Amino acid sequence: MRLGGPLFGEVRSPEEWVTLVRRWGYRAAYAPVSPEASSEEIAAYREAAERADIVIAEVGVWNNPLSRHPGERKAALDACVRALSLADELGARCCVNIGGSLGEKWDGPCADDLGEEAFDLIVETVRSIIDEVKPLRTFYTLETMPWMYPHTAESYERLIKAVDRKAFAVHFDPVNMIWSPERFFHNAEVIRDFVRRLGPWIRSCHLKDVRLQDRFLVHLEEVIPGKGNLDYRTLLSELDRLDDVPGMLEHLSTSEEYVQARDYVTKVAREIGVGL
């Protein structure tokens, strides 16, 4: 596997980007350019990444393709198409978005999001995005989420079968799948089960942590890696069994927090003999 995360510092060229990625000790990185970049700039970053053996892990979209508002839905779908096209030009491992919400908030929660209408719309939406772009070097993926599809290994398997497109793959976010005390206490088995079922389709993984607060009712909190109870030994061991999957740090506020998270993940990996 490879470790990556956001970069802090000004980047004015592919060469400066490579230097910064290496300075952080990463071998994977988020997309260094936006869909508005020129074809020449995109190619320059793709070639620089290839020369430096840096994996561009993902192009994130982060909008709501299921919006009930036609204008918002169209804008979201157009952005997904542009992002998937960028990922294909960059040679990124994947383009990633959430499945989407039928509620007013783009990422939920909404009771309708775990119903058949939402499932069918996700299938229709993913197919339309992939069929328009027809990617050759990348995949469209959905981030696992706590209260919308895909939220379990089973629901992701069902989506893969229903979408029925070779360019549809898996984005693994284990913390987002820890949505109950049972899954919290047995998170190692949640991780192993997911990788056992979906390992061949996993293109990228987010590295975070989760903590259960000791107050009623149930309060699960996302925290910096090493400050929660996610079984990182199991997670890194399982990711290491896959085909060079990038593990990407995210959702932290400062460069100091990212240093702390990087150092924790690196320490655990060293202890269990996993190369990053």
Q: What is the mean pLDDT of the chain?
A: 98
pLDDT digits (tens, 9 = 90+) for 235-258: 999 999 998 999 999 999 999 999
pLDDT of residue 49: 99
Whether 10 has a pLDDT exceeding 90, the answer reads no
Residue-level pLDDT at 222: 98
Q: What is the CA radius of gyration of the chain?
A: 18
- What's the sign of the alpha-carbon dihedral 229, 227, 60, 204? negative
Instruction: Indicate the DSSP class of residue 176.
Output: G
As a whole-number percent, the residues of the chain with pLDDT over 70 amount to 100
pLDDT class for 212, splitting at 50, 70, 90? very high
Provide the sign of the torsion angle of the four alpha carbons 100, 105, 106, 108, taken in this order.
Answer: negative
Neighbours of 124 (CB within 10 A): 14
CATH code given to domain 2-172+247-272: 3.20.20.150
Find, among 157, 90, 149, 97, the residue nearest to 128 by Cα: 97
The predicted-structure confidence for 213-234, as pLDDT tens digits, reads as follows 999 999 999 999 999 999 999 9
How confident is the model at residue 272, as a pLDDT? 98
Residue with tokens 């990212």: 258
Query: Structural domain boundaries of the chain?
Result: 2-172+247-272
- The pTM for the full model equals 0.97
3-state secondary structure at position 249: strand
Identify the band that residue 267 occupies on the pLDDT scale cut at 50, 70 and 90.
very high
The pLDDT assigned to 109 comes to: 96
pLDDT tens for 101-138 read 999 999 999 999 999 999 999 999 999 999 999 999 99
Please name the residues in contact with 120: beta carbons below 8 A apart, sequence gap of 6 or more.
none
Query: pLDDT for 54-90, tens place per residue?
Result: 999 999 999 999 999 999 999 999 999 999 999 999 9
Q: Which residue has the tokens 């909190």?
A: 221
